[in-house]
Amino acid sequence: MSTIVVAAHKGGVGKTTVAVNLAASFAHYGKRTLLVDADPQGAVATALGITVVKPSLYELINKQIKANDAVVPVDNISELWLLGSELDLAGLEIEAPRMTLWQTKLADVLHDAETTWDMIIIDTPPGLGVLSTMALNAADGALVVCPPDYLAYRSLAHLQEALVLSKTPIMGIIPTMVSTQSRHAREALELIEDNYRDLILPSIPKRVALQDAMVAGMPIVNYQPNSDCAKAFLSLAKEVLSRAKTVAA
């Protein structure tokens, strides 16, 4: 079993798209997978076509309910379960710092789940605030998402500092929304590859199909299984599964 956090300091870089599609790819390979949304934007449920999130992660943390008693199976995708969030989770950014040992509140919720699922994926909000800190502390390893963009490249160093503080090893960096159409994108991708060579994982191309899949409430492996982006996610999942064995060992 491995608990993996999908993280980035910068917003809008593709974290949720990676978390949802990677989790669905694990499920596609027959891995019992739990997808946890630690972002009050609640986009993970939306990406899976789920409109009502009950109970939300906020209730679990506040009432000390264990994940195993609250997860919901995702319709039409066997082996995938959700622990979703909605706007109420935003309150925790203010309330949590008054709680003792707040940094481990998400880890506590997931404690029993670690023996129930093969893989747990946690999606995070942008920034390195309270919710992201809880998520980093609940994980065995971090997957860092980075599009070919200079500011996203620059923010990798900030996240690395937070990962050192939470003692969460980096499993790899996923170049995402990759397009070589602009000079800026080509140069930013080169910067990322040159500076983080050993950490680079299979990349995800920039494709409208991934946005359409989100609107349809389906992961790409179900929405357009023969597309190059579905195949990219399956290749990425294979590589992450092999690295997860090392992280969990």
Ligand X SMILES: Nc1ncnc2c1ncn2[C@@H]1O[C@H](COP(=O)(O)OP(=O)(O)OP(=O)(O)O)[C@@H](O)[C@H]1O
- From the CB of 48, what's the least distance to Mg ion, in Å? 13
Only one of the segments 65-73, 132-140, 205-213, 234-242 lies at the binding site for ligand X (rule: CB under 6 A); that segment is 205-213
- From the CB of 56, what's the least distance to Mg ion, in Å? 16
Q: Give yes or no for residue 11 binding ligand X (CB under 6 A).
A: yes
User: In sequence order, which residues have a C-beta less than 8 Å from that of residue 101 and are 6 or more positions away?
Assistant: none
Only one of the segments 103-111, 167-175, 180-188, 199-207 lies at the binding site for ligand X (rule: CB under 6 A); that segment is 199-207
Q: Give yes or no for residue 214 binding ligand X (CB under 6 A).
A: yes
Binding at 133: pick from Mg ion, ligand X, none (beta carbon under 5-8 Å per type): none
Is 208 buried (19+), middle (13-18) or exposed (0-12) by CB count in 10 A? exposed
CA dihedral (22, 58, 146, 207) in degrees, to 10, reads: 50
Q: Rule CB under 5 A: which of 203-222 touch Mg ion? A: none
Q: Give yes or no for residue 28 binding ligand X (CB under 6 A).
A: no
User: In sequence order, which residues have a C-beta less than 8 Å from that of residue 135 and are 6 or more positions away?
Assistant: 5, 7, 38, 106, 122, 124
- From the CB of 212, what's the least distance to Mg ion, in Å? 17
Chosen residue from 2, 16, 166, 203 binding ligand X by CB under 6 A: 16
Tell me whether the omega of the peptide bond preceding residue 126 falls within 30 degrees of 0, making it cis.
no
Q: Give yes or no for residue 25 binding Mg ion (CB under 5 A).
A: no
Q: Rule CB under 6 A: which of 171-190 touch ligand X? A: 176-177
SS3 content of the chain, % helix, strand, coil (to 5): 50, 15, 35
- From the CB of 111, what's the least distance to ligand X, in Å? 26
Whole-angstrom Cα distance, residue 19 to residue 73? 16
Q: Which residues of the shown chain bind Mg ion in the complex (CB under 5 A)?
A: 15-16
